[in-house]
Amino acid sequence: MKVSFKLNGKNVVIDVNPNEVLLDTLRLKLGVKSVKRGCERGECGVCTVLMNGKPVYSCMVLTPQADGAEIETVEYLQGKEEVKALIDSFVKHGAIQCGYCTPGFIVTAYALIKAKQNGLTKEDVIKGLEGNLCRCTGYKKILEAVINALNQLET
């Protein structure tokens, strides 16, 4: 079936199976590499994308459900000030090891910042990032990086 949505600012029209998930459409058909495959069950967060501004696990979204939606990934979001600050902070703080989880964290953290521009507490950040797993860093530097980016953006 034909599905159309806005991907990273551009309209796409694509033919998919009704049971195809957005993760597969993005990765296998549209060449989006930042969206990773980790569990395909909504358990790890490495496939996180923004759908109409909200972070979703793209492995849990059927592509037809994305019809008419706006989908954004880090390839596109990296142009935004907040995402620049996040990436910069992740890089500087050593919050990136294998990097498989990183785009998912960046997208989720960005959505968090957008949803509550000011006054995010450490607890808010923890709560917001709880659904993204990382097996390499032990999270300490990720948390530091996000909080540092927040401070950066607030000043």
Partner 1 sequence: MSVEDPYALLDKWLNAQELLVVGKDVTRVDAFQKAVGKAYFTEDYLLKEALFVKQVLSPYPHARILSYDVRKALDIPGVKAVITAKDIPGVNQVGYALPDQPLLAEGKVRYVGEVVALVVAEDYDTAFKGVESVEVKYEELPYLLDPLEAMNRNDILIHEEIGSNIAFKTKVVKGDVNEGFAKSDVIVENEYRTHHQDHIYLEPEAALAIPDMEGRITIICSTQYPHLTRDIASKVLGLPSSYVKIITPYVGGGFGGKDDEGPLVAAKAALAAYLTGRPSFLMYSREESIAIHPKREATVIKYKSGASKDGRLQAIDVKIIHDTGAYANRGPFILWRATVHASGPYEVPNARVEGFAVYTNKVYQGSFRGFGNPGIQFAAESQMDLLAEKLGLDPIDFRLKNILKEGSTTITSQKLDHSVGVGEALRKVAEASDWWRKRREYSLDTGRFRRGIGVGVAWHGISTSRGVPDWSNAYVKIEKDGSVTAYTGIVEMGQGAPTSAHVQIISELLGIPPTKVKVIFGTTDAPDTGATHASRGSSIGGIGVLIAAAKLRERLAKLASEILNVTPEEIMFKDGRVYSKKDPNLYIEWKDLIKEAISKGVELSATGYFFLPKGKFDDVRGQGFAYPAFSYMVVISEVEVDVETGVVKVLKVWPALAAGRILNPQQVEGQLEGAAVQGLGYALMENLVFDGKGRVVNPDLTDYVIPTIRDVPEIQKPIYVEDLFKYGPFGAKGVGELALIPMPASVANAVSHALKTRVTSLPLTPERVLELIRSSR
Q: Which residues bind partner 1 (CB under 8 A)?
A: 27-28, 32-41, 43-44, 46, 73-75, 78, 87, 90-92, 94, 96-103, 106, 126, 129-143
CB 37 within 8 A of CB 27: yes
Judged by beta carbon, residue 17 or residue 151, the one nearer partner 1 is 17
Q: What letter represents residue 2's amino acid?
A: K
Element (H, E) at 85: helix 81-92
Q: Choosing among partner 1, ligand FES, none, which partner's interface includes residue 124 (Cβ < 5 to 8 Å by kind)?
A: none
What separation in angstroms does the CA of 84 have from each of 14, 90, 106? 30, 10, 10
Q: How far is the CB of 22 from ligand FES (least distance, A)?
A: 10
62 φ, ψ (degrees, to nearest 5): -75, 135
40 sits near ligand FES (criterion: CB under 6 A)? yes
Interatomic CA distance for residues 6 and 22, integer angstroms: 13
**Of the ranges 1-9, 73-81, 82-90, 99-107, which one interacts with ligand FES (CB under 6 A)?**
99-107
| Contact residues: ligand FES, CB under 6 A | 37-40, 42-47, 57, 59, 96-101, 134-137
